[in-house]
Amino acid sequence: MPASQEELEDDHFHDQCGVFGVFGSIEASHLTYLGLHALQHRGQESAGIAVVDDGRLTMHRELGLVRDVFSANVLGRLTGDRAIGHVRYSTAGETHVKNAQPLAVDYALGSLAVAHNGNFTNYEELREELEGQGSIFQSTNDSEVLVHLVARAQEPRAVDRVAAALARVRGAFSLLFLTNKELIAVRDPHGFRPLSVGKLKDAWVIASEPTAFDLIAADFVRDVEPGEMIVIDDTGIQSYHPFAQTPRRMCIFEYVYFARPDSELSGLSVYETRKRLGQTLAHECPVDADLVIAVPDSGVPAALGYSQASGVPFEVGLIRSHYVGRTFIEPQSSIRHFGVRLKLNPVRNVLKDKRVIVVDDSIVRGTTSRKIVKMLRDAGAREVHMRISSPPTRWPCFYGIDTPSRAELIASNHSIEEIARYLTCDSLGYLSLEGLHAAIPGRGFCDACFSGDYPVPFGNPTNHRRQLELIL
């Protein structure tokens, strides 16, 4: 019997998408392929690339990892000097190629492709409005409403149509548009999701994280500002600000978990920030122990910070396998916890008879953490103390992050003591909300998953559409 998704996947929030774009290079598709590879952590369900060559738009998208979706033959057919690409993370009930991006259409001004990282919180009402006016949707992807809005706009230029369409949507978005003439990059007024500009010789590049520039030897130029629209064409690059000024609210979880540790977002090193989270956690939640270990890979920087601040030695106590796919054949129903053991295995000589502090970045449902605690005890750990480098996650995200309902978030309806008993650990400590903000200096952040303070209103999250399955 196939293992369940819950059994195989780690118990974390996941960003749904990453985007990458190139303008002005004859190797645009190959560079985009490499850029998407560097952003693979932001989405493992599907990948796609759209290119323009002599006014003709060509696209390839499939379910799977970047390395599996694009062969040398496929990339060889994607010719042109401008391209956009997308990687997508899976959400429940939506694993289908029809939801892969980029989305591409032909409309009055020519061809248009779009790649979206984020979520439109008024998607349902916009879709109902458009369907009432005769629009036909082919996916359950909220990005598709934007395509219809652009096509229905009356402005003479594509950039103005994009601006008019975006004036209708609410929520989080970092977007790339590819037309016959230009590449357009837009970040929502709050700046929920990151987006950066780079330069590679005479070409411009855009990416969800600047670390994607490193792989192709591009230079980081700057972040796209919240509410900014950048237009790149044969004349160069222009900047517009079509939205009203809005308080900045970048997702603080980018620094906790989503972004790669080697990224730099808004001038802050993600790696150093995560170490500071661990250092602050050590001051807030000390405990006598023999060693500190991390839940790899995301917990490593915080665990190092905890060790440095506490003086408790850091050791590698869990080894992670990076070769587990989304499906696996369960050998025997009697083999318990095999899903976690596919990804993690304890180092028994390190753990035996030790009082262990295990650092992770977050707890969502608690199911994986409970299995990790048991794994450590089975390996001989005398005590297991869980330390989490973020506050309790009590609220779901509606801004482009795949999260369970509030009822499924263990911290939403259980005290820390109750969670500790469920995990079967000797103690449990979370970073405080005040400690989180102290460790991440800078302008405003969205911390709604911890505080319940949502910057942008959203519709009824329980309103699920009834739709016949479209098989393409």
- In one-letter notation, the amino acid at residue 127 is R
Domain boundaries for CATH 3.60.20.10 within the chain: 11-249
| CATH 3.40.640.10 holds for 11-249 | no
| Residue 424 region by backbone torsions, left for phi larger than 0, else alpha for psi between -120 and 50, else beta | left
| High-pLDDT (> 70) share of the chain, % | 89
DSSP string for residues in 173-198: EEEEEEESS-EEEEE-TT--S--EEE
pLDDT value, residue 27: 97
Span 260-273, average pLDDT: 95
- CATH code given to domain 264-443: 3.40.50.2020
Tell me how far apart the alpha carbons of residues 210 and 263 are, in angstroms, rounded to a whole number. Answer: 6
Tell me how far apart the alpha carbons of residues 359 and 422 are, in angstroms, rounded to a whole number. Answer: 17
How far from the centroid of its chain's Cα atoms is residue 56's Cα? Answer: 31
Could you tell me which of 170, 119, 126 has the C-alpha nearest to residue 148?
126
Question: What tokens does 344 get?
Answer: 């993690």
Q: Kindly compute the dihedral angle of the four CA atoms of residues 455, 458, 462, 468, in this order, to the nearest 10 degrees.
A: -140
Reported as a single tens digit per residue, the pLDDT across 324-348 is: 654 444 455 455 556 677 889 999 9
Reported as a single tens digit per residue, the pLDDT across 77-110 is: 999 999 999 999 854 335 678 889 999 999 999 9
- Judged by average pLDDT, the poorest of 48-52, 200-204, 228-232, 333-337 is 333-337
46 backbone dihedrals φ, ψ, rounded to 5° = -145, 165
How far from the centroid of its chain's Cα atoms is residue 287's Cα? Answer: 32
Of the pLDDT bands very low, low, confident and very high (cuts 50, 70, 90), residue 279 is very high
Q: Kindly compute the dihedral angle of the four CA atoms of residues 282, 287, 292, 296, in this order, to the nearest 10 degrees.
A: -70
Catalytic (active-site) positions: 17
Residue 14 has pLDDT above 70, yes or no: no
Could you tell me which of 224, 282, 254 has the C-alpha nearest to residue 435?
282
Q: Which residue has the tokens 């118990």?
A: 11
Tell me how far apart the alpha carbons of residues 33 and 27 are, in angstroms, rounded to a whole number. Answer: 10
Query: ∠233-235-224 over CA atoms, to 5°?
Result: 55
DSSP one-letter code for 2 = B
Average pLDDT across the chain, whole number? 89
- In one-letter notation, the amino acid at residue 95 is T
Q: Residue 295 contacts by C-beta under 8 Å, 6 or more apart in sequence?
A: 318, 344, 358, 359, 360, 361, 372
Tell me how far apart the alpha carbons of residues 226 and 192 are, in angstroms, rounded to a whole number. Answer: 8
pLDDT value, residue 11: 66
Reported as a single tens digit per residue, the pLDDT across 180-214 is: 999 999 999 999 999 999 999 999 999 999 999 99
Strand boundaries in 152-303, DSSP class E:
171-179, 183-187, 196-200, 203-207, 219-223, 229-233, 236-240, 250-251, 264-265, 268-269, 291-294
Span 423-429, average pLDDT: 98
Domain boundaries for CATH 3.40.50.2020 within the chain: 264-443
pLDDT value, residue 8: 42
225 close to 191: Cβ distance less than 8 angstroms: yes
68 close to 102: Cβ distance less than 8 angstroms: no
3-state secondary structure of 283: helix
